[in-house]
């Protein structure tokens, strides 16, 4: 890429960014616009200044939402919303209006949305209310507003992925999951921001700009489903859907303090999305998964989607119903604990959260087995995974075709990866094409088999551990995601559960990396109050057990 092409691409990006922001501004009703005085007290610039937008309570102070709408968006669980919608004590129109208003406020504060189609959503809500009044509800999600990550295609709505090369694309079909959710009765009302190429942990691109973390605007909202988790954390959505290839529903959830579930691949429909990957090369299979503010919301989504026979819309989905396993789970469980990998050391607040979670599980009678780094192979899994994904260079070609420069988060990730010791794949590193793919696949299968033996040797029911080395960190500093990538590599279902917040000690705990180690910078003063989380996972296709065990863990922790 030439210097001139980069300059022209950035110029086009600035122009497109202004156009998109103008279009989104027009899509928000005037009555839903924030009074500038409400944001006048923010420290500027927000992306480098610590501002807690949750504590600011813009939805209440703005006067945009009625008291009933505030209650709907803040006080009702998703079970209560669906129950009210089914009985008629709540209408889809008022529920959709409440969350659309709150999404509009969230976007004005955090820049979390890419496409806004509130008008279409409100029309659909009216239609669903009419059907319910006639005694003809259309599914288990009847009338519930659901937000979507930018990559999902909705007929008549742009799907640009934040890429200049796709900036004029308007979808003419629906993604398989969109078809399914529509049939289940959901109301789709907005799409949410992502990183350029969806291969970074910072939701920033040259079309829509950067999404801010509502807990601390100087920290990343995570990626690649960062807009989704920021929106859910702000309670601008009762339930959002993201995608996950290396942790993309779990990373933004740990950054924004939400719940997330990464199912086994091919259980939730994934096909028909806008993509910048080569569809024919499925080295590590991505999946779609829910982001919400409760375990029950995650379970409701999984049950509804899987029992809706998604294979009717997606030929790759396994045509298997959701299994009810609540009565089969032992009351006292045996948990393995993922240790700190020597290559990827863990920040003090995350260590504290995991240690406290272990204490609470033990206090509730559960058994803990501390696994060893040489058993878990976190670093080796990350290296083999990234080598496999690097076989596909289409995303880089799409960025180049649009004349864009890589976003800083992608540059940072590449720089950090270059520092790692890649000797574990040295024997296949120089092999061409299929020979390289074959050699890497053999290494992956060896690690998958090692984990099979680990489960059997320790007789584990589930494993818990850190979802990341860190909480949310400063923008563009997240780097490599080894602790979430592990579960995509193994294709294990995994749940992220928010637990505690970062609290600095006096004096602050030191965190230093050695020459062979890799980690984001640790700035305890700026991370004060950042959400912490833990990760729970089970073996492949044990999604139902993972969900049930995560509910048990959640009850222990809260």
User: Residue 477 above 60 pLDDT?
Assistant: yes
Catalytic site positions = 149, 224, 248
For the ranges 349-353, 360-364, 427-431, the lowest mean pLDDT is seen at 427-431
pLDDT at 21: 82
CB-based contacts of 42: which residues, under 8 Å, 6+ apart? 49, 51, 217
* Distances from the Cα of 333 to the Cα of 44, 56, 207, 457, 550, angstroms: 48, 41, 47, 16, 11
* 410: enclosing H helix or E strand: helix 408-418
Q: Residue 288: phi, psi to the nearest 5?
A: -100, 145
Written as six digits, the tokens of 167 are: 């900036």
pLDDT at 547: 98
DSSP 528: T
**What's the count of helices (H) and strands (E) in the chain, helices before strands?**
21, 13
pLDDT at 254: 98
Three-state DSSP class for 348? helix
Distance in angstroms (rounded) separating the CA atoms of residues 75 and 57:
14
Say what percent of the chain tops pLDDT 70.
Answer: 97
* Average pLDDT over every residue of 115-136: 97
Question: 150 with 227: CB under 8 angstroms?
Answer: yes
Distance in angstroms (rounded) separating the CA atoms of residues 191 and 63:
25
Rg of the chain, C-alpha, whole Å: 22
User: Residue 49 above 50 pLDDT?
Assistant: yes
Report the length, in residues, of the chain: 558
* 350: enclosing H helix or E strand: helix 348-363
Three-state DSSP class for 464? strand
DSSP 90: S
Whole-model pTM over 0.75: yes
User: Residue 530 above 60 pLDDT?
Assistant: yes
User: Residue 337 above 90 pLDDT?
Assistant: yes
pLDDT at 505: 82
User: Residue 282 above 80 pLDDT?
Assistant: no
User: Residue 515 above 80 pLDDT?
Assistant: yes
Give strand pairing partners of 241.
148, 290
Bridge-based pairing of strands 145-149 and 187-192 is: parallel
Please provide the average confidence, as pLDDT, over all residues in the chain.
95
| Per-residue pLDDT reduced to its tens digit, 399-419 | 999 999 999 999 999 999 999
CB-based contacts of 514: which residues, under 8 Å, 6+ apart? none
* Average pLDDT over every residue of 344-361: 98
For the ranges 8-22, 163-177, 423-437, the lowest mean pLDDT is seen at 8-22
User: Residue 281 above 90 pLDDT?
Assistant: no
DSSP 534: E
Say what percent of the chain tops pLDDT 90.
Answer: 93
DSSP 192: E
* Distances from the Cα of 368 to the Cα of 113, 120, 186, 458, 512, angstroms: 41, 50, 40, 10, 28
Distance in angstroms (rounded) separating the CA atoms of residues 495 and 499:
12
Give strand pairing partners of 253.
none
Helix, strand, coil percentages, rounded to 5, for the chain:
45, 10, 40
Distance in angstroms (rounded) separating the CA atoms of residues 155 and 158:
8
Torsion sign (Cα): 520, 525, 527, 532: positive
Q: pLDDT class for 4, splitting at 50, 70, 90?
A: very low
Distance in angstroms (rounded) separating the CA atoms of residues 226 and 113:
10
Question: 237 with 146: CB under 8 angstroms?
Answer: yes
| Residue-wise DSSP of 274-290 | --SS-TT--SS--EEEE
Written as six digits, the tokens of 82 are: 């669906």
User: Residue 230 above 80 pLDDT?
Assistant: yes
User: Residue 280 above 70 pLDDT?
Assistant: no
Distance in angstroms (rounded) separating the CA atoms of residues 39 and 36:
6
* 359: enclosing H helix or E strand: helix 348-363
* Distances from the Cα of 11 to the Cα of 7, 16, 203, 204, angstroms: 6, 9, 20, 16
497: nearest Cα among 450, 448, 555: 555
DSSP 198: G
- CB atoms < 10 A from the CB of 262, how many? 33
Q: Residue 494: phi, psi to the nearest 5?
A: -145, 145
* Distances from the Cα of 449 to the Cα of 170, 376, 377, 442, 492, angstroms: 43, 11, 12, 11, 13
pLDDT at 13: 58
Question: 440 with 422: CB under 8 angstroms?
Answer: no
* 107: enclosing H helix or E strand: helix 92-110
- In angstroms, the first-to-last Cα distance of the chain is 52
Written as six digits, the tokens of 193 are: 């921001």
Task: Write down the residue that tokens 């091919």 correspond to.
Answer: 266
CB-based contacts of 384: which residues, under 8 Å, 6+ apart? 424, 425, 440, 443, 444, 447, 489
Distance of CA 444 to the CA centre of its chain: 24
Answer whether the bond into residue 93 is a cis peptide, omega within 30°: no
Domains of the chain: 25-312 (3.90.1300.10), 334-557 (3.90.1300.10)
Distance in angstroms (rounded) separating the CA atoms of residues 147 and 231:
9
| Per-residue pLDDT reduced to its tens digit, 135-191 | 999 999 999 999 999 999 999 999 999 999 999 999 999 999 999 999 999 999 999
């Amino acid at each position: 890429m030439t210097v001139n092409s980069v300059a022209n691409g950035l110029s086009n990006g600035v122009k497109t960014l202004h156009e998109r922001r103008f279009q989104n501004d027009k899509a928000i009703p005037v009555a839903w616009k924030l009074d500038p005085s409400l944001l006048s007290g923010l420290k500027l610039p927000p992306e480098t200044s610590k501002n807690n937008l949750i504590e600011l309570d813009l939805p209440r102070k703005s006067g945009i939402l009625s008291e009933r709408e505030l209650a709907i968006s803040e006080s009702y669980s998703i079970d209560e919303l669906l129950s009210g919608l089914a009985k008629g004590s709540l209408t889809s129109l008022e529920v959709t209006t409440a969350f659309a208003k709150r999404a509009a406020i969230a976007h004005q504060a955090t820049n979390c949305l890419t496409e806004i189609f509130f008008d279409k959503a409100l029309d659909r809500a009216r239609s669903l209310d009419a059907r319910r009044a006639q005694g003809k509800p259309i599914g288990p999600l009847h009338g519930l507003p659901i937000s979507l990550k930018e990559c999902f295609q909705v007929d008549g709505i742009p799907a640009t992925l934040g890429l200049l090369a796709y900036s004029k694309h308007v979808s003419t079909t629906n993604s398989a999951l969109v078809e399914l959710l529509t049939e289940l009765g959901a109301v789709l009302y907005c799409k949410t921001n992502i990183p350029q190429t969806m291969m970074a942990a910072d939701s920033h691109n040259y079309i829509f700009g950067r999404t801010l973390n509502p807990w601390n605007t100087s920290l990343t909202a995570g990626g690649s489903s960062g807009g989704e988790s920021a929106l859910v954390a702000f309670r601008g959505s009762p339930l959002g859907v993201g995608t996950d290839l290396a942790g993309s529903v779990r990373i933004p959830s740990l950054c924004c303090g939400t719940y997330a579930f990464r199912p086994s691949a091919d259980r939730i429909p994934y096909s028909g999305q806008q993509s910048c990957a080569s569809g024919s090369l499925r080295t590590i299979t991505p999946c779609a998964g829910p982001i919400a503010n409760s375990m029950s919301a995650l379970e409701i989504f999984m049950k509804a989607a899987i029992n809706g026979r998604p294979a009717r819309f997606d030929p790759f989905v396994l045509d298997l119903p959701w299994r009810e396993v609540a009565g089969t789970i032992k009351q006292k469980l045996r948990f393995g604990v993922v240790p700190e990998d020597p290559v990827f050391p863990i920040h003090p607040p995350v260590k504290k959260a995991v240690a406290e979670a272990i204490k609470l599980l033990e206090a509730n009678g559960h058994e803990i087995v501390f696994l060893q780094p040489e058993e878990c192979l976190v670093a080796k899994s990350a290296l083999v995974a990234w080598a496999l994904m690097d076989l596909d260079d289409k995303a880089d070609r799409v960025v180049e075709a649009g004349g864009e420069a890589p976003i800083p988060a992608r540059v940072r990730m590449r720089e950090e990866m270059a520092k790692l010791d890649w000797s574990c794949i040295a024997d296949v590193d120089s092999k061409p094409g299929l020979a390289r793919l074959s050699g890497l696949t053999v290494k992956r299968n060896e690690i998958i088999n090692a984990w099979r033996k680990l489960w059997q040797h320790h007789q584990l029911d589930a494993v818990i551990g850190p979802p990341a080395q860190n909480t949310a960190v400063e923008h563009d500093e997240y780097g490599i995601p080894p602790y979430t990538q592990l579960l995509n590599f193994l294709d294990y279902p995994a749940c992220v559960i928010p637990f505690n917040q970062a609290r600095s000690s006096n004096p602050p705990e030191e965190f230093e990396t050695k020459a062979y180690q890799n980690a984001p910078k640790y700035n305890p003063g700026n991370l004060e109050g950042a959400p912490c989380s833990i990760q729970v996972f089970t073996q492949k296709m044990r999604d139902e057990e993972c969900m049930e065990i995560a509910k048990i863990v959640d009850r222990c922790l809260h």
